[in-house]
Structure 1
Amino acid sequence: MEYIDFKAYQFGYNYGKASTTFTVFATDCEQLSVAIYADANRFQYTLHAMREVATNVWSVEIPGDLDGTYYNYFIDRSGLRFKANDPFAFSCSTNGRRSCVVDLARFKQRSADLKHVSEGLKSAIIYETHIRDFTVKTGDSVVDKGKYLGVIEGTGEDDRLSYLKHLGVSHIHFLPLQDFSSVDETVEDDYNWGYDPHHYFIPEGAYATDVDDPYARIDELLQMVEGVHGAGLGLILDVVYNHTYDSAWQALEILAPSVYFRKWQDGTFSDGSGCGSELNTMHPATRYLIVESLKHWQNFYGFDGFRFDLMALIDTETMQFVAAELKKTHPDVILYGEPWVATSTSLDPELRFVKGKQRGSGIAVFNDDYRQLLKGDSDGGGVGFVQGDSAQSHFIKTHLLGAIDYSEEHKGFTDCPFEAINYISAHDNLILYDKLKLSTNWSDREIMRATKLSFALFLLAFGVPFIQGGTELMHSKKMDRNSYKSGDRINAIDWSKRAEFAKLTDWVAKLTAFRKAMPCYHSFDAAQIRNHVKLLNHETVIGFQIEQVDFTAPYTMILINGQLSEQVIDLSIDDSLHKVLSSYENSCDHSRGFVLQEQQVCVLQQQTPFLVGS
């Protein structure tokens, strides 16, 4: 079956008050039936036989109003009966044991009223967090801690959406919200990042105020999206299409063995994620599931973009198809992901969506090369530029320029800077504070100075900035390198520290405000960077001059001293010289040449070039 064949059918259920039609893709079946349960928990059910209306497509129409009805599919194969949920269902029972019929028409107008934010990848500043991390350690004005609604609740110091706007953030990136299996929804404070997908069309129930109500998770997620958009922020959903939870007993494998999952020649599951069996993204059935579920999250729930976990386990053709389909209804949709695999995979290396494959695709990738140059390894004692090691300064310059092919000496992996997601830490591995502490044993004052330098290095770079939530508050995870199930004590952001770290958050806000005011960061392509950005030739200080002829101040000079000692440089200055930013409260001293203090960042503007001969 090709993709177009799948589009000819409405898989899942087609609800109407008079009847509901169930349609499912299943292979090698002797018989397939729908079991309609009396409620979410009782074992009594009524069995309705389905018929094969096309090759491997089974369907049945059941009369009556089935709104709120729970069901499963029963598959008879080789003398055995298997039970499976509906992979295309829009809601389910607590902990996803049974699928549930819900009438999405109830939300038709609210969904239609959701408007995507106008900012796309070129102007995005992304803030990564988790529903519980973002909502638990808040004050009394946040009632629904750990829930979708808790994201949009809060006044005064609890108003985190206004705080993010002040910080300069354009989009919140939430860790997975698609229903996952690694928490018990009946346990109030059970915690997991959620990279164990169970249902691709259904919101996670643990974040709803009533896990037993199949409508609550839908209603409250829509309220969250409305509230975040109303605050002027976009939403990016972290999605996991590289593997599923417990694949052998996952509904996809039960319904269609060896179709949805990638396997080795000996029949064992391929596990390139190290977390569970890989989805066979090249099969039309899998590709259809991926694309249709993404459309649902984009067009029904109003998400403005998607981050793809272990994106290299998705074949290049599928990623290109995803981008083309989503852009049909949202041309500015933001798409990015991890261009690597975790362990050995059966997917041909030539087919993987790795770094370099994103060129010209409209999809961005995490720039882990830059991350490693900035801080050293992710979990050990290695050091990088922000800890004072300037040995790799040459390559730092390449990535500051958007990892483009700038010159023979500076060659990157992008066709344009907006293909690079620039970051220094994310939810995986040590958070920035812990990494700096482990690798230097610095005091908190010294770590704050290095943190200010770190933010400057990815917020002043060409590309797309990405902030791990809490790093601007020097959040520590107590050296936990993989806090995926470590709970609120380790992961939750302590919002009461905003006053304590006001100087740091104000610095971040100044950087983002400067970035937004500079047209070059939102518009320069590779050719314009080559023509209008000139690198400073200095052994230890990194600097680059930006020329914007039609801008108020035509010449901008960005100076970055990563050294643990002051550095002096020579620049050509005129009477219009203006200091725009400095990571130190004092001005950049230029009484004896330009003097930069240890780990100081300084941004200057004037009417004439800073670099002689430019």
Structure 2
Amino acid sequence: MIATDRNFFAYLDEMKIITILLPLSYHHGLSSSFSITSDFQEHPLKIIEKVQIENKMKYICEFSKDYAFEKQYVIIDEHGGKTDLQIGAVIRTEEFDKKFYYDGNDLGVTFQQGLTRFKLWAPTATQVKLKLRPSNSSFSEIVKMRREDRGIWSVAITRDIELYQYSFLILVNQEWREAVDPYAKAVTLNGELGVVVRLDNTQRSRPNLPEIENSVDAIIYETHIRDLTIHPKSGVKNKGLYLGAGEQNTKGMDGEPTGLAYVKDLGVTHIEFLPFHDFAGVDELHPNKEYNWGYNPLHFNAPEGSYSTNPANPYSRIIELKQLIDQVHSLGLRVIMDVVYNHVYVRETSSFEKVVPGYYFRHNEIGLPSNGTGVGNDIASERRMVRKYIVDSIQYWLEEYHIDGFRFDLMGILDVETMKEVRKVCDSLLKGTIIIGEGWNLNTPLPTEQKATIGNQAKMPHIAQFNDKFRDSIKGSSFNLFDKGYALGNEHYLGAANEVMTGSIGYTKQGPGTFNEPFQSINYVECHDNHTMWDKLLACLPDADDTLRIKYHRLATAIVLLSQGIPFLHSGQEFFRTKKGNGNSYRSSDEINQLDWERKIIYKDNVEYVKGLIQVRKEFACFRMRTSAEIRSNIHQMPLASPLLGYWFKGENELILLINPTTKKHIITLPDGDWTVLVDHEKAGITSNGILFVEEMSIEPVSINVLLKK
């Protein structure tokens, strides 16, 4: 029995609570009794509250029986009016989560001897059907699925259906919706349908890379698959594609390395790629007509097609992405994947919302979707099946694609428990997996103590966080283009710079810091977001010449590489990357976003300087101390005049780090001993320039200096 002409509305808001809304235009909104019926059985409801809200009368009613989600129910009032009972806020209750939590590892498509099985978690659906279509046909086959425990729907196909396209038809609240499998591992052009693929045809073994003992030994280089190679003079054949990003031995106009070979030569340990799970914003049929960073997630377990040589072939993107990762690994480098589990591109059309409407997203106190992400939806990671989805997805990328680490976009939207589960699964599968995230405290309806933010770093000790205090203290605020940080000569940031350079662990105040340990801090002054540092310098110092801008830029980058914590570089930072003043290039042209390989030639001296700084960091453990205790014991601050900073490192080697952000020379008194120069305003590297200082030295304006005791 289904009510089609609704006189009023009714919603299941808790397991035994039904909310009924009667318009005042219908019997003045008055009814003294309601009953619920299904399968020709009728039961009375107990009215426990009645209140008028605008032009409706709201009744809160209690249901004495157990609600069966696989059935359809009708509510009848005293006047004989009828309405179907719709699934309401019950899906956001703890009772619902407990009742329907499914811990199996077989959601999506799995293979057994002679059959292909499809499983979908859709507990609020009253019917689910599988829609199958051969890749070369317009004919679709509809197969009914069977409901099992825990809200699972299942069906097995006993013939070969490799490369068949598929989707699910789901009936919820008397409305049919068609959805792509949330667990789809392969998709058609622009992610319109899932595809059945046999991934065992694409498997390869994970290489044995030298172990990274501690995450402070990592040096991260952030880039975008298309940006890396799309420039006309990149020397790369497959420009803008997975295969291009993986090409080796490519050279620019100067005969020097470009692309992946250049990144290897620079000396970093990890390449972090902006999102490459399937995203919206680029038509895969015409990938060069549009550009996007990739923060519009469509399908979290399928690779993006616009980076593939043949996006219409579901295997191409899978195989070519795996080839890229293999090429990175072959050079001894590791891959960090930028993941965007905090939101979806469009909530209403997402697989999550179509399969279990209202479950996967947070809602505010008046029942509207919350918007801490700024894109119209926040993923409700605290719900059990959402958390399971994120953890399952991370496990899939680790095992299937041999990813080495993850960068969590807007991690502060997610909850602490989910991030701890992510850490746990990574530790169980790959020792040394690096996890980093943006722990910003965003306006989402999750209790403060549950948010995966910098403020809760102690609850997630082995997840590193982007240190915005480091960024803003050294470079100047990202939200005020004209604000200058310590490295740009602003001595008001002296105290903050001192704190962040020593690991943000409370070294300077001998109390709690932003972090408990240095390996929790991602130190950076530039990333894909906001203006590049060069563009900021052009705005901040409009009357300066490039010589001074270069000095400031070099100093800021050197501070990133020689501070305690994990250094993070934006690709092209080392040759003064510019986006022509564009502060948000997420869908700007290639001309704005590309890595300019001719600019690398122009500023070769600075590239060599940054390479030298990386060598110094790798060679001398004092620049990457493991613990806050080690920092407190082995770093001794030198008594220098403000705004100079000096650190004397005592350990296996004795070194001094000196910083002069002013435009004047300064004379420094040195500790006893013979000191040789590794880094100064012109040169950086692990071999001395031969100059010895005994008692004092002159520090050049706007410079960083590293001295080694002989």
- For this structure pair, what is the TM-score category when the shorter chain's length is used for normalisation? over 0.9
Do the aligned partners of residues 255 and 462 (structure 1) sit closer, same or farther apart at CA in structure 2, a change above 3 Å counting? same
> Size of the alignment, in residue pairs?
598
**Which one of the candidate residues 200, 223, 245 is aligned to 1:129?**
223
For the Cα contact (< 8 Å) 1:401–1:462, is it kept in 2? Answer: yes
TM-score for the superposition, normalised by structure 2: 0.81
In the other structure, the counterpart of 2:211 is: 118
Q: Secondary structure at the match of 1:292?
A: helix
Measured in 2, the distance between the counterparts of 1:368 and 1:3 equals 41
Query: Greater CA radius of gyration, 1 or 2?
Result: 2
For the Cα contact (< 8 Å) 1:116–1:304, is it kept in 2? Answer: no
For the Cα contact (< 8 Å) 2:677–2:692, is it kept in 1? Answer: no
**Do residues 259 (structure 1) and 370 (structure 2) align?**
no
Letter of the structure 2 residue corresponding to residue 393 of structure 1: L
Q: Secondary structure at the match of 1:399?
A: helix
User: What are the residue-to-residue correspondences of 1:482-497 with 2, within 5 Å?
Assistant: 482-497=584-599
Do the aligned partners of residues 161 and 78 (structure 1) sit closer, same or farther apart at CA in structure 2, a change above 3 Å counting? closer
Measured in 2, the distance between the counterparts of 1:97 and 1:412 equals 48
- Once the two structures are TM-superposed, the CA of residue 506 in structure 1 deviates from its matched residue by 0.8
Q: Secondary structure at the match of 1:206?
A: coil
In the other structure, the counterpart of 2:698 is: 595
Q: Secondary structure at the match of 2:631?
A: helix
Measured in 2, the distance between the counterparts of 1:583 and 1:562 equals 11
CA displacement 1:418-454 (0-9 Å, x = unmatched): 1100000111100110011111123222221111101
For the Cα contact (< 8 Å) 1:311–1:341, is it kept in 2? Answer: no
- Once the two structures are TM-superposed, the CA of residue 3 in structure 1 deviates from its matched residue by 11
For the Cα contact (< 8 Å) 1:588–1:594, is it kept in 2? Answer: no
Letter of the structure 2 residue corresponding to residue 192 of structure 1: N
In the other structure, the counterpart of 1:146 is: 240
CA displacement 1:351-395 (0-9 Å, x = unmatched): 111114223621000110011111212152111112211122122
Letter of the structure 2 residue corresponding to residue 67 of structure 1: E
- Deviates further, 308-317 or 564-573: 564-573
User: What are the residue-to-residue correspondences of 1:48-447 with 2, within 5 Å?
Assistant: 48-108=143-203, 110=204, 112-115=205-208, 118-119=211-212, 121-139=215-233, 141-153=235-247, 154-157=249-252, 158-189=257-288, 190-342=290-442, 344-359=443-458, 361-379=461-479, 380-408=481-509, 411-441=512-542, 442-447=544-549
Do the aligned partners of residues 291 and 169 (structure 1) sit closer, same or farther apart at CA in structure 2, a change above 3 Å counting? same
For the Cα contact (< 8 Å) 1:507–1:583, is it kept in 2? Answer: no
**Which one of the candidate residues 460, 470, 485 is aligned to 2:572?**
470
CA displacement 1:511-537 (0-9 Å, x = unmatched): 110110112334431111111110112
Letter of the structure 1 residue corresponding to residue 173 of structure 2: S
For the Cα contact (< 8 Å) 1:403–1:411, is it kept in 2? Answer: no
Measured in 2, the distance between the counterparts of 1:495 and 1:16 equals 50
Measured in 2, the distance between the counterparts of 1:30 and 1:391 equals 64
Letter of the structure 2 residue corresponding to residue 515 of structure 1: R
In the other structure, the counterpart of 1:584 is: 682
Measured in 1, the distance between the counterparts of 2:418 and 2:101 equals 17
- Once the two structures are TM-superposed, the CA of residue 50 in structure 1 deviates from its matched residue by 0.3
Q: Which has the higher contact order (CA 8 A, sep 6+)?
A: 1
**Which one of the candidate residues 509, 526, 529 is aligned to 2:628?**
526
In the other structure, the counterpart of 1:611 is: none
Q: Secondary structure at the match of 2:170?
A: strand
- Once the two structures are TM-superposed, the CA of residue 115 in structure 1 deviates from its matched residue by 4.2
Measured in 2, the distance between the counterparts of 1:302 and 1:138 equals 31
**Do residues 455 (structure 1) and 557 (structure 2) align?**
yes
In the other structure, the counterpart of 1:8 is: 104
Do the aligned partners of residues 396 and 588 (structure 1) sit closer, same or farther apart at CA in structure 2, a change above 3 Å counting? farther
In the other structure, the counterpart of 2:46 is: none
Measured in 2, the distance between the counterparts of 1:563 and 1:411 equals 30
Measured in 1, the distance between the counterparts of 2:690 and 2:578 equals 31
In the other structure, the counterpart of 1:21 is: 117
**Which one of the candidate residues 649, 669, 680 is aligned to 1:546?**
649
Measured in 1, the distance between the counterparts of 2:706 and 2:625 equals 20
- Deviates further, 209-218 or 75-84: 75-84
Letter of the structure 1 residue corresponding to residue 170 of structure 2: I
Letter of the structure 1 residue corresponding to residue 273 of structure 2: F
Structure 2 runs not aligned, ≥5 long: 1-96, 684-688
Q: Secondary structure at the match of 2:469?
A: helix
For the Cα contact (< 8 Å) 2:101–2:150, is it kept in 1? Answer: no
For the Cα contact (< 8 Å) 1:375–1:385, is it kept in 2? Answer: yes
CA RMSD across the alignment: 2.0
In the other structure, the counterpart of 1:38 is: 134
For the Cα contact (< 8 Å) 2:670–2:694, is it kept in 1? Answer: no
CA displacement 1:388-431 (0-9 Å, x = unmatched): 11122122111111111225357521121111000001111001
TM-score for the superposition, normalised by structure 1: 0.93
For the Cα contact (< 8 Å) 2:258–2:597, is it kept in 1? Answer: no
Measured in 2, the distance between the counterparts of 1:103 and 1:3 equals 33
Do the aligned partners of residues 326 and 577 (structure 1) sit closer, same or farther apart at CA in structure 2, a change above 3 Å counting? same
Structure 1 runs not aligned, ≥5 long: 608-614
- Once the two structures are TM-superposed, the CA of residue 155 in structure 1 deviates from its matched residue by 2.3
Q: Secondary structure at the match of 1:544?
A: strand
Q: Secondary structure at the match of 2:168?
A: strand
Measured in 2, the distance between the counterparts of 1:282 and 1:591 equals 60
User: What are the residue-to-residue correspondences of 1:568-583 with 2, within 5 Å?
Assistant: 568-574=667-673, 576-583=674-681
Measured in 2, the distance between the counterparts of 1:595 and 1:453 equals 17
Q: Secondary structure at the match of 1:299?
A: helix
Letter of the structure 1 residue corresponding to residue 115 of structure 2: S
Letter of the structure 2 residue corresponding to residue 439 of structure 1: C
Identity %: 32
- Once the two structures are TM-superposed, the CA of residue 570 in structure 1 deviates from its matched residue by 1.6
